[in-house]
C-alpha cells in the first residue's frame, strides 16, 4: 500500500481514524466518558489546519489503500527540552482499528523512521502512555527502548504517566 504525504482532502479521514484509534487503543486507559465524547467533527479543523500550515519540518504521512486513508503518522524534529537539532520525533501513528496487527502499522512506522533518517536526524524519540502495553510492545519489537524519561499528560480529568522511547538512526 502506498504511503504519501497528507493532502487537505485527507483531513476528514485522518480525524475519523484519530478518534476510532483512540477509542479502541485507549479503552481501559483513558476515562470512558472522555473516549465516548471524542468526535471526528471536533478534530477535522485541527487536521485541516495542520495540513495547510505544518510546523516547520513536520510531515504527515498517510497509508492509502486504493484511495482510502487507513492510517497516518506525523514526524518532525523533537520538541523535548533536552533534544538536540539532530533528534527527530514520531509525534503520532494511528491506524483504523481493524488494520492493527496486519503489518500496515509496521510498514507505516518504518516509513516514518526512514523519513527522519533521510532528513539527517541521528536519533528519534516518541511518547507513549505507560499503561499502553500493546504500543510499547510494538515499539520494543522495532528496537526502541524506554530511556527513563517520564512525564504526565492530562486527558479529561485524569493525569496519566507517559514514557519516552528512543532509538538511534545511524
Give the domain CATH number at 32: 3.40.630.30
Domain that holds residue 76: 3-168
CA distances (Å), origin 150, targets 105, 137, 168: 25, 17, 19
pLDDT band for 69, please (50, 70, 90 cuts): very high
How many other C-beta atoms lie within 10 A of the C-beta of residue 160? 18
| Residue 152: predicted pLDDT | 92
pLDDT band at 54, cuts 50/70/90? confident
Q: Interior CA angle at 134 toward 26 and 137, to 5°?
A: 145
Is the pTM higher than 0.85?
yes
Candidate from 47-56, 70-79, 109-118 with smallest mean pLDDT: 47-56
| Cell numbers for 59 | 510531515
Look at the chain and report how many structural domains it folds into: 1
Residue 120 binned pLDDT confidence (cut-offs 50, 70, 90): very high
Could you report the per-residue pLDDT of 144-170, keeping only the tens digit for each? 999 999 999 887 777 899 999 999 997
Amino acid at each position: 500500500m502506498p504511503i504519501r504525504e497528507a493532502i487537505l482532502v485527507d483531513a476528514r479521514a485522518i480525524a475519523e481514524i484519530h478518534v476510532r484509534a483512540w477509542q479502541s487503543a485507549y479503552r481501559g486507559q483513558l476515562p470512558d466518558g472522555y473516549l465516548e465524547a471524542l468526535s471526528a467533527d471536533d478534530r477535522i479543523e485541527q487536521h485541516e489546519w495542520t495540513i495547510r500550515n505544518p510546523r516547520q519540518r513536520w510531515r504527515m504521512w498517510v497509508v492509502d489503500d486504493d484511495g482510502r486513508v487507513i492510517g497516518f503518522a506525523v514526524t518532525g524534529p523533537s520538541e523535548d527540552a533536552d533534544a538536540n537539532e539532530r533528534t527527530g520525533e514520531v509525534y503520532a501513528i494511528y491506524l483504523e482499528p481493524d488494520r492493527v496487527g496486519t503489518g500496515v502499522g509496521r510498514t507505516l512506522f518504518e516509513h516514518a523512521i526512514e523519513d527522519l533518517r533521510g532528513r539527517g536526524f541521528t536519533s528519534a524519540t516518541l511518547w507513549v502512555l505507560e499503561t499502553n502495553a500493546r504500543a510499547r510492545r510494538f515499539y520494543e519489537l522495532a528496537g526502541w527502548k524506554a530511556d527513563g524519561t517520564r512525564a504526565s499528560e492530562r486527558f479529561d480529568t485524569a493525569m496519566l504517566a507517559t514514557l519516552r522511547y528512543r532509538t538511534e538512526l545511524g
